[in-house]
Amino acid sequence: MVNKNYNKKLKALIALRLKIVRPLLCITILPYFCFIGVIAFKPEKFSPLIFNTHISLGIFLGLLLILLIFFITIRYVYLANKYIEPQINAIKNDI
């Protein structure tokens, strides 16, 4: 099934996917382990209340992390539909 004619397009598809997935994967894994890291090493850093409210930095960042996860999934679906799908369809049409 893998033919040299498709190889170029397939390579482009893989490169594109990597370009989209890699940064999103980074902003999933790094903030999460930073969050866990602060809890493990310096939990007191999360205690201060922010912006003159009764909400602590830890709760604020935790809720922000949940919003970030929403953002990552929506962003990926958007990018995949806009850029990856057309390339897959182009390969399908060739076959």
Partner 1 sequence: MISKLFLFILFFCNFSSASNGNNENNYIAIIMFILFVTVTLFITYLASKKSSTADGFYTAGGNITGLQNGLAISGDFMSAASFLGISGLVYLTGFDGLIYSIGFLIGWPIILLLIAEPLRNLGKYSFADVVSFRLSQRPIRILAACGSLSTVILYLIAQMVGAGKLIEILFGLPYYSAVMIVGGLMILYVTFGGMLATTWVQIIKAILLLFGATTIAILVLFQFNFDINLFFNEATNIHKKGVSILSPGGLISDPISAVSLGLALMFGTAGLPHILMRFFTVSDANQARKSVAYATGFIGYFYLLTFIIGFGAIILISNNPSYLDGSNTLIGGNNMAAIHLAHAVGGDILLGFISAVAFATILAVVSGLTLAGASAISHDLYANAFFKGKQTEKSEMFVSKIATIFLGVLSIYLGIIFQDQNVAFMVGLAFAIAASANFPLLLLSIYWKKLTTKGAVVGGSLGLLSAITFVILGPVVWVDILGNTTPIFPYKYPALFSMSITFLIIWIISSLDKSKQGVSEIKSFDAQYFRSQTGIGIDTKISH
Q: Interface with partner 1 by CB under 8 A: which residues?
A: 1-2, 6, 10, 13-14, 17, 21, 24-25, 28-29, 32-33, 35-41, 43-44, 46-47, 49, 53-56, 58-59, 62-63, 65-66, 69-70, 72-74, 76-77, 80-81, 85, 88, 91-92, 95
CA distance 59 to 44: 13
What 3-state DSSP class applies to 56? strand
| φ, ψ at 53 (rounded to 5°) | -115, -170
| Least spacing, CB of residue 51 vs partner 1, in Å | 9
Tokens of 81: 């539909």
| Least spacing, CB of residue 80 vs partner 1, in Å | 6
The DSSP-derived string for 34-45 is HHHHHHHH-GGG
| Least spacing, CB of residue 33 vs partner 1, in Å | 6
Q: Which residue has the tokens 């999103």?
A: 24
| Least spacing, CB of residue 20 vs partner 1, in Å | 9
